[in-house]
Amino acid sequence: MSGGRGRGEGPLPPRARDPLSGAGRRAALWPWLSLLIASLGLAAAIVWQVRPGSLKLPTVRPRIPAAPSTPRPATTEQRRVRLFFPQESGETLMELERDIPYRPVLAEEVRSVLRELANGVPGGRSPVPPRAEVRQVFRDAFGIIYLDFGREFQTLIGAPGSQPELAIAAIVNSLTSSFSEIKRVQFLLEGKETREVVGGWDLRRPVSPRFPGQESPPVVSQPQE
C-alpha cells in the first residue's frame, strides 16, 4: 500500500502548534511593551515636577510673625474734688483740689474723700481720726448724706479747743463742695444719732456747710431736684 506506513497503523494526529510562537508572539507583545514604557515615562515626569529639589528657594518666603502689640493701660476716669483741712496753726481751713478715681456709686466716692482727709497734708491736720471707721454711707431723697462712724470717732468730738469744730467744718465742706448731690451731712455714731453739740455745730441734726466764724444757716428741708 502507498503512503509508506505499515499495515494496521492509523493516521497520525495533526501536530499541535502554539499560535503565539515565534514572530507572531513578538508581534502580539509589542503594543503592551510600548504602553508600559509610556506609563513609566509619564510617572518619571510627574516625580521630577514634584520632587523637593525642583522648588525655587527664592520664591518661597517665610511668613514673618507680626510683632505683638503692647497693650495700652486702661484710662481711669477721674473726679476732681475739693478737700479742706484744719491748719496746724490758726483757726482756719486750708483748701486743695485733688483727683480721685470715678466710681458709679456715690458712697464709694464719699469713702475715697474721707480716706484722703484721713491721710492729711503738709501744714494741715487730718479732720478724720486715723482709726475712725466709716461703717455705713447712704443718702436720702433730701440730699442728706449719713456717715455712720465707729466708736473711734468719739475721740474727735472730745478733742480740746477748737479742733472738733474745725474738723467737722472740714468734713462737711469737703463733701458738699465736691458732690452736688450732697446738701447736708448727718453724723451717726455706731448707727445712732449723736447728742453732741460741738462749738457751733449741733450734731443732733443734719449739718449744713459753713466756714469757721460763720453763723449756721437755717435748716430748710427740701427734696433733691
Provide block-wise average pLDDT over 10 residues at a time, the chain (225 residues).
48 51 57 68 59 48 57 73 91 92 94 93 89 90 94 83 90 96 94 85 91 54 37
Residue 154 sits at φ, ψ, to 5 deg, of: -65, -30
pLDDT in tens, 175-184: 999 999 999 9
Q: What is the pLDDT of residue 72?
A: 55
The DSSP bridge pattern shows strands 144-149 and 134-139 to be antiparallel
Question: For residue 160, what is the DSSP state?
Answer: S
Q: What is the pLDDT of residue 117?
A: 94
**Amino acid identity, position 47:** V
Q: Given its phi and psi angles, is residue 154 left (phi above 0), alpha (psi -120 to 50 degrees) or beta?
A: alpha
pTM of the model: 0.62
Measured in whole angstroms, the distance separating CA 83 from the mean position of its chain's CA atoms is 30
Question: b/e string for 31-64 if b means 16 or more Cβ within 10 A?
Answer: eeeeeeeeeeeeeeeeeeeeeeeeeeeeeeeeee
DSSP character string of 44-106: HHHHHHHSGGGS-GGG--PPPPPPPPPPPPPPPPEEEEEEEEEBSSSSSEEEEEEEEE--SSH
Report the distance separating Cα 113 and Cα 105, nearest Å: 13
pLDDT in tens, 141-154: 999 999 999 988 88
